[in-house]
Amino acid sequence: MSSQTRFNLSQDDLPKFWYNVNADNPVPPTPVLHPGTKEPVTPDFLSVLFPMEIIMQEISTERYIQIPEEVREVYKLWRPTPLIRAVRLEKALGTPAHIYYKYEGASPVGSHKPNTAVAQAFYNKAAGTKALTTETGAGQWGTSLAMACNFFGIDLEVYMVKVSYGQKPYRRIFMETYGAQVFASPTDRTNYGRSLLSENPGNQGSLGIAISEAVEVAATSGGTKKYSLGSVLNHVLMHQTVIGEEALKQMDMAGEYPDVVIGCVGGGSNFGGIAFPFLRENLKNGKRTRLLAVEPTATPSLTKGVYTFDYGDTAQMAPVVKMHTLGHTFMPPGIHAGGLRYHGMAPLISALFDAGHIDAVAVKQRATFEAAIQFTKTEGIIPAPESAHAIRAAIDEALDAKEKGEKRTILFNLSGHGHFDMVSYEKYLHDDLEDFEYPVESVQEAMQHLPEVNLPV
C-alpha cells in the first residue's frame, strides 16, 4: 500500500477505448420499443433524434469502442482526473477503512458529464448536425453539453427543470456564457409545455417533462435539430467508463483494490462510469467488489420502483424501455439534488440490479447534507448535492467497518463539486431542508398508467 494520498495519471494514461458492458453482460438485453406501436424501434426511427454512429454504439456488443482522437484531445483539458485518499475523513471517523474518491469535479464545468457531452457533440458534428436540444435538471448536464457544443460549433437549446432554473441561476448563466439558450421547463415553446401550463400555471417541472419538451422540439424540427441525452441510455454510460478505467490504474498505484465501489444514481451515468469496469473484473477475472448505487429516498427508483416497461419521458414521446421506474407520471418533490430527480433508471443498471450484480440503498436529504458538510470540513471540497449521496454511503460503509473492526477499501465517485449549489447548503445550514420518503402508494398508483406492452416483463 502506498503512503501517497493523491494518485495522478499522465495524459499518456488517458484511456483510448470506452468499455461496453454489453459485451460481458450476463443479462439478456430487452428491446427498446416505439412509443406509439410498442414494437421494437428501428435505426430509422432513432435517426430522427440521434446520429447513426450514436445509434450503432447504443446497440453494440463490441467490448471496446475506440475513443476518437478529437474527443481525447478535448478530454485532455481535465483528464485523467485525480484519485484521492480521504485520510482526513478517515481520521475524523476513526475508521480502519481506507476511503478513496475519484474527483470528476476537476472538469471545466465541475462534473463528470463532459465525458459523454464531448463525445455526443463530436458525433453530431461529424454527421452534419447544426443544432441540438436537451434537458437538464441541476444544470450539470446542460452546462457540459453547452461547453461541448461550443467547442464543435453546434447551437444548443436547453430545457431546464423549472425548480432548478430558480434554485441554480448561475448554472443557467454558465450555459448562456457558452452560447446556449436556456428555457425554464415546462415552457410555452412546445405543445406539451403549453398543455401542462394550461392545467397548472405554477408547474415546477420534472426531468421527464424537460425530456419531453426537448424531444418534441427535435422530432418536429424537420431534421434541423437532433436530441442529446445526459444519462440513462447505453452509449451515455459507455462514454463515462473512462472514469472506472482510470480508477483501476490508480487503485493499482495505491496498492489496494476496492471492496466496494459507490456512486450516486439518478439516471445512472456516473455510477455506470465508475462501476462497469469493476463489474467487468468481477465477471471476467473473479473479483468480488460490491457495487453500490445510492439514490434519494425522495426519488427511489431502484429501491421502491417497479422493474417494467415504461416511457422515458412524461409526454410518452420517448422510446419505451424496461427499467426500474416510479412511473412516467412521477412528479418529484423539490429536493436539492436536482440531477437525481428522474422517474426511471438506466436499463443496463436496472437489469444488473434485478439480477443481483449491483446493490442499492436510498438515503435521506438531511443525512446526505450532513455527510457533505463533514466531507467539506475534512477534505476541503464542497460536493454537489447529487455526489453527496455517494459520500453518505461511503461514510456509512466506513462506520460499519469501524463497528465490525474490519479493514475495508472503499472507492466512491465524487461526480461533481457544489460551487453552484450554495443555496442548497444555505438552506441546510439554516435548518430549512426537509426529508421526504416517496410513498409506496404513489408508485402503485403510477403503475396504472404504464404502456401496454405485449412482451414478458
452 domain-assigned: no
Q: What is the pLDDT of residue 337?
A: 58
Same domain, 123 and 103: no
Residue 71 lies in a domain: no
Number of neighbours of residue 274 by Cβ within 10 angstroms: 32
| pLDDT band at residue 440 using 50, 70 and 90 as cut-offs | confident
The single-letter DSSP state of residue 383 is: B
Residue 1 is assigned to a structural domain of this protein: no
Listed residues 234, 258, 288: the one ending a domain: 234
The reply to whether 149 falls in a domain is yes
Give residue 134's pLDDT.
Answer: 97
Together in a domain, 161 and 295: no
Number of domains in the chain: 2
Q: Give the residue numbers spanning the domain of 140.
A: 17-66+113-234
Give the separation between CA 242 and CA 188, rounded to whole angstroms.
38
| CA-closest candidate to residue 140, choices 178, 177, 110 | 110
CATH number (domain holding residue 420) = 3.40.50.1100
Q: Name the domain boundary from 202, 219, 234.
A: 234
| Residues 105 and 117 grouped into a single domain | no
Asked if 267 and 349 count as a contact pair (C-beta separation under 8 A), the reply is no
Q: What is the mean pLDDT of residues 438-444?
A: 86
**Whether 179 and 315 share a structural domain:** no
Is the distance from CB of 341 to CB of 335 less than 8 angstroms? yes
pLDDT band with cut points at 50, 70 and 90 for residue 91: very high
What is the share, in percent, of the chain residues with pLDDT greater than 70? 97
Summarised one tens digit per residue, pLDDT across range 205-229 is: 888 899 899 999 999 999 899 999 9
Residues 216 and 227 in one domain: yes
Instruction: Look at 208 and 295; give whichever has higher pLDDT.
Output: 295
Q: Do 347 and 250 share a structural domain?
A: yes
379 and 432 share one domain: yes
Cell numbers found for residue 197: 401550463
- The pLDDT, as a whole number, for residue 153 is 97
pTM, 2 dp: 0.95
pLDDT at 2: 59
Model pLDDT, residue 331: 75
pLDDT of 333 higher than 80: no
pLDDT for the residue numbered 315: 84
Domain identity same for 106 and 170: no
Residues 117 and 194 in one domain: yes
User: If you average pLDDT over residues 14-30, what whole number do you get?
Assistant: 95
Q: Is residue 106 part of a domain?
A: yes
Question: Average pLDDT of 131-139?
Answer: 92
372 and 388 assigned to the same domain: yes
Could you tell me if residue 455 is inside a domain?
no
Pair 230, 247 in one domain? no
Q: How many CB atoms lie within 10 A of CB 4?
A: 13
> What does the block give as the cell for 129?
448536425
Q: What is the pLDDT of residue 117?
A: 98
- pLDDT of 334 reads 62
Task: Express each pLDDT in 50-87 by its tens digit.
Answer: 999 999 999 999 999 999 999 999 999 999 999 999 99
DSSP 404-452: HT---EEEEEE-BB-TT-HHHHHHHHTT--------HHHHHHHGGG---
Residue 117, SS3 per DSSP: helix
Q: Which of 179, 210, 234 is the last residue of a domain?
A: 234
Looking at per-residue pLDDT, the higher value among 360 and 45 belongs to 360
Give the chain's count of helices (H) and strands (E): 18, 15
Residue 300: what pLDDT? 93
Question: Is 273 inside any structural domain?
Answer: yes
Classify residue 453: in a domain, yes or no: no
User: If we measure between CA atoms, which residue out of 450, 7, 50, 441 comes closest to residue 223?
Assistant: 50
Q: How does residue 4 score in pLDDT terms, banded at 50, 70 and 90? A: confident
Together in a domain, 383 and 441? yes
pLDDT grade, residue 291 (50/70/90)?
A: very high
What is the per-residue pLDDT for 101?
98
